Structure 1
Amino acid sequence: MTDADHEKMSAFSCGVKELDDFFRYEVRECVERKYLSAYCAYTESDGIVAAFTLMNDAIMIPSENEKEDFFDDLRLEEDSAAVDFFKRQSSYPAINIGHLGTSVEFQGKGIGMTIIEFVAGTFSQYKQAGCQFITVDALNNERTIRFYLNNLFIFQTNRDFCSHTRRMYRILQ
């Protein structure tokens, strides 16, 4: 995200105050402190269509029961070598989409899905570091959860059912 992007964020709204405030008031410091990287998608007329952030992450599975559920969700049963490999790991490298907002006027047009597919395509071929998953901490509301479920994300746990956000992941192919 460039200085010009930051200036244009004052006119950006995805309709979720928490995300709008983050992109307007907090994202610059997060980028400067190397906490995350931020990106904007533009229209041909130079208006911001969407904004999103990426940061390194890892999936950690705290209990044996959750680990078994995790392996079931991976659907690796036909590949016993892959199951054995995954079971030996203590964490699983991921890229986190920390924030994703599409401008109100462009919602429902596939922009968010396109960004997720862009991230999936980029990191499934990324060779500089290991990356097996995309993770999100989705705002726990029906619309947001449905969006991520429709984009192939799975709940990491049910322990966060009543939390402000739900931890979800998507397998990179």
Structure 2
Amino acid sequence: MLTDNISSFLRINSNFQFKSFDCGDEDLNDFLLNDSQKYYDNLLAVTYILENTKETVAFFSVLNDKISISDSPSKSFWKEKVSKKLPFTKRYDSYPAVKIGRLGINKNYQGKGIGTAILDYVKTLFITNNRTGCKFITVDGYNNPKTLDFYIKNGFNYLLSNKKSDEEPTKLLYFDLAIIKNSLNDNKIE
């Protein structure tokens, strides 16, 4: 595994007892320790954690989302990036997605590839264990170079890229799960 004494991802519930956690971002720390169980109880998001014997190493939350025409900068963008690539004639104004609502890595473990491993886990999960249909992964990445570079490095693309979005605290990014699914299909041995 990535670090010593880390168990697999645990899904939190209403009674989950958290171990210490500090990722250096008070908003993310507060979400995990004070809000994640409320989101779970109200069916808004599910949070998973990675921990070792003494502390929480990382966490992420996922929730349902969609990408729609109104999210994209133009209809031509929508047609080029989304609907043109689909093999059927019926076109929709939106397509199903899962949003990574929060993702945090404990300061003691940052820079060790855990964030990328989490994104790979989520991508694989929604390809192999997709129960309802999910075409995209979305994230509202903090609008700072370190965060945005992390998502771009992991295959995400900007959905909006304009002056208005440059001034927002977050930027909407997406990952098309068809990339992985097609790659898996190409590598199947018959």
TM-score by length of 2: 0.78
Asked if 1:22 corresponds to 2:31, the answer is yes
The letter for the 2-side match of 1:16 is D
Instruction: Say if 2:14 and 2:40, in contact at 8 Å, map to a contact too.
Output: no
* 2:172 counterpart residue number: 167
* Equivalent position of 2:101 in the other structure: 98
Equivalent residue letter for 1:69: F
The CA distance in 2 between the partners of 1:96 and 1:19, in whole Å, is 16
SS of the residue corresponding to residue 122 of structure 1 reads helix
3-state secondary structure, aligned to 1:7? coil
1:28 shift after superposition: 1.4
Alpha-carbon contact 2:72-2:78 (below 8 Å) kept: no
Deviations for 1:36-87, whole angstroms, at most 9, x for unmatched residues?
00110123x352110110101100122886232244446x9xxx6x346488
Which residue number in structure 2 is paired with residue 39 of structure 1? 48
The runs of at least 4 aligned residues of structure 1 exceeding 6 Å deviation read none
Q: Deviations over 1:86-128 (max 9, x none)?
A: 8811101011100000001111111010010001001012342
Residues 53 and 97, structure 1, Cα contact 8 Å, conserved in 2: yes
The answer to whether the Cα contact below 8 Å between 2:62 and 2:101 also exists between their aligned partners in 1 is yes
| Greater Cα shift, 83-92 or 162-171 | 83-92
Q: What's the TM-score, normalizing by structure 1?
A: 0.85
CA distance in 2, matches of 1:15, 1:37: 22
RMSD: 2.3
Structure 2 residue identity aligned to 1:134: I
Which runs of 5 or more structure 1 residues have no equivalent in the other structure?
none
Higher helix share: 1
Does the residue aligned with 1:163 lie in a helix, a strand or coil?
coil
Q: Percent identity?
A: 32
Distance 1:171 1:165, change over 3 A: same
When the two structures are aligned, how many residues end up with a matched partner? 165
Given that 1:14 and 1:102 are in contact with CA atoms closer than 8 Å, whether structure 2 keeps it comes out as yes
Offset of residue 26 of structure 1:
1.3
Residue 13 (str. 1) matches residue 13 (str. 2): no
Q: Does 1:113 align with 2:116?
A: yes
Q: Unmatched 5+ residue regions in structure 2?
A: 1-11, 179-190
CA contact under 8 A between 2:13 and 2:40: conserved in structure 1?
no
Does structure 1 residue 49 correspond to structure 2 residue 57?
yes
Partner of residue 157 from structure 1, selected from 156, 160, 175? 160
